[in-house]
């Protein structure tokens, strides 16, 4: 029996236990996956308590991904590039830190939505933790270039510099976005959480595939994309399921059928 959990604060809303129960059922893996509310200043103590109870692994969500990076004793390349960890595998005394957010996004885009990233121009809105987590897997798909636009321009230019060794990147402020269309726009700001959409040039969306990392409702970004003639519009539910699948495989070496789970979770959310 695998002993697994997700840590966060808040955590009540998390869909992860449901998703992992579906994966376990599908693959015939015996697993118990719970939600753990860790105190804001007490993540590592909560994590050690769980490890001492015989944990095999756990997920980490907001606001503990950097604490989890510090807790891990070794890091995958994804975790190193993201400077954040959303999945830990317990291997004796070793705590292996991984970050599956970027793999989750790329698998949703390329496998489920059949969007080929090769040679495409990608615009990412936002330069926070989520953007740092998705950049390496996106660049590994060999896009023509990735442009990072952020409210605080300096964070976007810094991220572009940090990832320039993996592919063509550039960073600037949101106000510098031009009306020239791009192929794919990814909203990685947290503006949608507050019901907001940054005021940016609208021509950039013309005929673009638009993807909001947020999920569960028609977000202001998705509404903006529709009004401005995007060719395809998606929320981040597929990414949520795919990042969970990558974590499940990291722990159990079993690959779940994500499409069936996305359908089930979508139906639950509607």
Segment lying near ligand NDP (by CB under 6 A), choices 7-15, 140-148, 150-158, 258-266: 150-158
Regarding 73 and contact with ligand NDP (CB under 6 A), the answer is no
Q: How far apart are CA 107 and CA 79, in angstroms?
A: 17
Q: Which residues contact 43 (CB under 8 A, 6 or more apart)?
A: 7, 60, 64, 67, 68, 71
Residues 213-252, one symbol each (x = binds ligand NDP by CB under 6 A, - = not), give: xxx--------------------x--xx--x---------
Among this protein's residues, is 65 annotated catalytic?
A: yes
Q: Which residue's structure tokens are 């957010």?
A: 101
Binding flag, residue 268, ligand NDP (CB under 6 A): no
x-or-dash string of contact with ligand NDP, 113-142, rule CB under 6 A: -------------xxxxxx-----------
Q: Enumerate residues 6+ apart whose C-beta is below 8 A from 187.
A: 125, 126, 210, 211, 212, 213, 214, 219, 221
Contact (Cβ atoms closer than 8 angstroms) between residue 150 and residue 174: yes
The residue from 65, 89, 120, 155 that is catalytic is 65
Just list the catalytic residues: 65
Contact residues toward ligand NDP (CB under 6 A) are: 101, 104, 126-131, 150-152, 155, 188-193, 196, 198, 213-215, 236, 239-240, 243
């Amino acid at each position: 029996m695998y002993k697994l959990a997700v840590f966060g604060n808040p955590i009540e809303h998390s869909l992860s236990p449901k998703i992992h129960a579906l994966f376990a059922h599908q693959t015939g893996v015996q697993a118990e996956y719970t939600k753990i509310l860790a105190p804001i200043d007490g993540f590592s103590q909560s994590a050690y308590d769980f490890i001492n109870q015989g944990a095999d692994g756990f997920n980490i969500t907001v606001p503990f991904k950097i604490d989890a990076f510090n807790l891990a004793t070794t890091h995958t390349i994804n975790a190193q590039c993201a400077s954040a960890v959303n999945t830990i595998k317990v291997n004796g005394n070793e705590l292996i830190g991984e970050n599956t957010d970027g793999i989750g996004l790329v698998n949703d885009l390329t496998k489920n939505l059949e969007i080929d990233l090769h040679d495409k121009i990608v615009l990412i809105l936002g330069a926070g933790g989520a953007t740092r987590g998705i950049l390496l897997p996106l660049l590994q798909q060999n896009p023509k270039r990735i442009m990072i636009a952020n409210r605080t321009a300096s964070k976007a230019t810094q991220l572009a510099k940090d990832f320039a060794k993996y592919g063509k990147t550039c960073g600037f402020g949101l106000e510098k976005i031009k009306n020239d269309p791009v192929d794919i726009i990814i909203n990685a700001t947290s503006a949608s959480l507050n019901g907001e959409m940054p005021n940016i040039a609208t021509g950039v969306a013309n005929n673009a595939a638009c993807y909001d990392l947020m999920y569960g409702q028609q977000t202001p970004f998705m509404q903006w994309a529709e009004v401005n003639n995007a060719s395809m519009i998606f929320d981040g539910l597929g990414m949520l399921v795919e990042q969970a699948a990558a974590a499940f495989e990291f722990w159990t070496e079993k690959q779940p059928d994500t499409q069936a789970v996305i359908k089930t979770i979508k139906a639950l959310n509607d």
